[in-house]
Amino acid sequence: MGATALMSVSNESVSVFAPASIGNVSVGFDVLGLAVKPVDGTLLGDVVTVNATTSNENSLTVIGNFADKLPSNKEDNIVWSCLLLFNEQLISVKQTPVFVAITLDKKMPVGSGLGSSACSVVAALAALNAFYAKYHNFSFAENVVLKMTGQMEAQISGSLHYDNVAPCYLGGLQLMVPDENVISRILPSFDDCYYVMAYPGIEVSTKAARDVLPTTYSRSDVISYGQNLATFVDACHRQDKNQAFSVLTDVVAEPYRTDLLPKYKASRDYLSEQGALAVGISGSGPTLFCVCDNQKKAEQFALWLQDNYLQTALGFVHVCKVDEVGATEI
């Protein structure tokens, strides 16, 4: 009986994949985010597995290509913080936490501008929620989990913004709204568009990228920001692709971050001249994204970026489409 019980506990397992995302999407600083997935099926994101354990303590194992970029001490890992927060929330609603063994497969480069920390946070909290739903007949509502992801992301970056965690968790193109009961709303995206994502293989911390931004902006910049964002949102609803991407410009961050990103300006200028619908910095960089409505052109741009934008062996380029699903059990 005892052996059977131990075996059944050890078979309790849930794995969740959380995808990469483009924070800001140029035109919506801190208020727009887009989940993306490579067209070749590559898992561009993180995977977290939650296993039941017969041990009387929790554990965290980190594997994957970028595991060595994370703190060696589990208490300093954001996934461990996610577990602690999730357990606190369980206790607050009179649920009893169980001991678990968590594995983070860190496939996403740290400091890439692809929502790397959001991937870990979302995968961890979504996996824990799915684990309790599957084996303990309890789960938090989607909005509660989303709020937890925001809390964890704020712990890393120093400010509360959902532009990576929301699309990563919910999928699609997300607009953050100033209502804590709603948090974000999905916008219609453009099904025929491709997003070429080029990570040069260098690291730019979110904090460093925020530190270069001015504390105040001119009236003309404020007007441009509001007008461009409003026009983009309107164009999404009308499915006016040309209008939408014609205003995909960044007056808030890109002018000040360009110097942090070697080769960015030259690459942006070249891709724009060659017919890209839009080119921008993904999140706080250094990843560049460019938008095309033609797969052949997207693949040509990917090859060019491979040769001209990558700077280390860690760099990569993916041709992506919108990930409409977000975090998903695998």
Tell me the three-class secondary structure of 161-185, residue by residue.
CCCCHHHHHHCCEEEECCCCCCCEE
Which range among 71-85, 118-132, 153-167 shows the weakest confidence by mean pLDDT?
153-167
**Which pLDDT value is given to residue 66?**
87
Over the stretch 23-40, which tens digit does the pLDDT of each residue have? 999 999 999 999 999 999
187, 222, 246 — which closes off a domain? 187
Q: Residue 153 above 70 pLDDT?
A: yes
Evaluate if pTM is beyond 0.75: yes
49, 54, 59, 64 alpha-carbon torsion, rounded to 10° = -40
Q: Is 301 exposed, middle or buried (0-12, 13-18, 19+ CB in 10 A)?
A: buried
**Residues 100, 249: one domain?**
no
CA distance linking residue 16 with residue 48, whole number of Å = 6
Tokens of 270: 């070249």
Of 126, 115, 124, the C-alpha closest to 45 is: 115
**Would you say residue 226 lies in a domain?**
yes
- Residues 28 and 171 placed together within one structural domain of the fold: yes
- Structure confidence by residue, pLDDT tens digits, 207-239: 788 889 999 999 999 999 999 999 999 999 999
Q: Check pLDDT > 60 for residue 6.
A: no
Q: Which pLDDT score, from 0 to 100, does residue 93 have?
A: 98
- Spatial neighbors of 221 by CB under 8 A, at least 6 apart, are 251, 252
Q: What are the residues whose beta carbons fall under 8 Å from the beta carbon of 140, sequence distance 6 or more? A: 89, 129, 148
Q: What is the pLDDT of residue 10?
A: 59
Asked if 323 contacts 166 with a C-beta cutoff of 8 angstroms, the reply is no
Phi, psi of 243 (to 5 degrees): -65, -45
Bridge pairing between strands 32-38 and 21-23: antiparallel
Are 179 and 223 within one domain? no
Give the 3-state secondary structure percentages of the chain, helix then strand then coil, rounded to 5: 40, 20, 40
pLDDT above 60: residue 1:
no
pLDDT of residue 318: 98
Q: Are residues 174 and 201 in the same domain?
A: no
Token digits of residue 128: 């824990």
Provide the 8-state DSSP code for 277.
S
Instruction: Choose the weakest-confidence range: 49-53, 177-181, 286-290, 297-301.
Output: 177-181
- With 70 as the cut, is the pLDDT of residue 5 above it? no
Pair 226, 201 in one domain: yes
pLDDT in tens, 261-281: 999 999 999 999 999 999 999
Over 80: is that where the pLDDT of 188 sits?
yes
DSSP-derived letter for residue 11 is T
Mean pLDDT, rounded, for 33-60: 97
Confidence of residue 7 (pLDDT cuts 50, 70, 90): very low
Report the pLDDT value the prediction gives residue 3, as an integer from 0 to 100: 36
CATH number of the domain where residue 161 is located: 3.30.230.10
pLDDT of 4 strictly over 80: no
Phi, psi of 136 (to 5 degrees): -130, 10
Mean pLDDT of the chain: 94
Alpha-carbon gap, residue 18 to 105, rounded angstroms: 11
Do 184 and 175 form a contact (C-beta atoms < 8 A)?
A: yes
User: Domain range spanning residue 261?
Assistant: 194-322
